[in-house]
Amino acid sequence: MSYVLQAVIGAEAVLRRVAAQQPGAVVVPLRQGFALIPMTDELFDSATDGGRGDGLRFSKLPGGFERVLADWSTAGPLGYVEAGYAGGVGTQRAALWADGDLAIGPMFVDVNEPFPAIGSPISQVLAHLGATRRRRDRDEFVAVGLDRCRNTEAWLAVDRSATPEVARSRR
């Protein structure tokens, strides 16, 4: 079974405000007041400046989008995260923007590398954003509900009018 995630993550109120300015941006609520904007092909195409977005070593970060993230982060901190897994093997990448600057990262864990003791790159970004893991959650990734969907299409199908707990109970 595979898992693929490429998204902007932050406080839901912040993401709703900035998404209104960006064609193709769809806000999907998570738990703990967070939300994500999946990096869809439409968002990628509307956000790219036509350059290569690989300076930060992300696989689906549009060229020039790091400037958009810096601008958006003046409204509140946010992260850009990517994960790709197949059969339990994969990679994670994450970075955090705050106050108009790249504040943390990018952080990487590649194939067959263990997560650092302080947590996966995505969990570290979520912790800096204020996510907290509860006793029953293995990490911040699970605590905010990033384990709920396995790919972009599934995130786009989530009922965005319902809270994550209500949407999950409908499945």
- What digits encode the pLDDT tens for the residues 102-129? 999 898 887 777 776 777 899 999 999 9
Q: Which tokens belong to 32?
A: 């703990």
Percentage of the chain modeled with pLDDT above 90: 49
Q: What is the pLDDT confidence band of residue 17, given thresholds at 50, 70 and 90?
A: very high
What does the pLDDT read at residue 160?
60
Q: Would strands 89-98 and 34-38 be described as parallel, antiparallel, or unpaired? A: unpaired
Q: What is the pLDDT confidence band of residue 131, given thresholds at 50, 70 and 90?
A: very high
* Residues contacting 163, CB < 8 A, separation 6+: 29
d(CA 41, CA 98): 25
* Residues contacting 83, CB < 8 A, separation 6+: 3, 4, 5, 90, 91, 92, 93, 122
In this structure, are residues 121 and 94 in contact, taking their beta carbons and an 8 Å threshold?
yes
What does the pLDDT read at residue 15?
96
Supply the Cα-derived Rg of the chain in whole angstroms: 15
In this structure, are residues 40 and 122 in contact, taking their beta carbons and an 8 Å threshold?
no
Stronger pLDDT, 94 or 56, i.e. the higher one: 94
What does the pLDDT read at residue 86?
86
Q: Check whether 169 has a pLDDT greater than 70.
A: no
Q: Check whether 166 has a pLDDT greater than 70.
A: no
What does the pLDDT read at residue 41?
86
Question: Kindly report the CA angle at 140 between 25 and 40, in degrees rounded to 5?
Answer: 20
Return left, alpha or beta for 130; rule: phi > 0 is left, psi -120 to 50 is alpha, else beta: left
Segment 141-156 shows an average pLDDT of 91
Per-residue pLDDT tens for 28-81? 999 999 999 999 989 888 887 776 656 677 888 888 889 999 999 999 999 999
Closest CA to 8 of 146, 170, 109, 164: 146
Cα-flanking dihedrals φ and ψ of residue 86, to 5°?
-145, 125
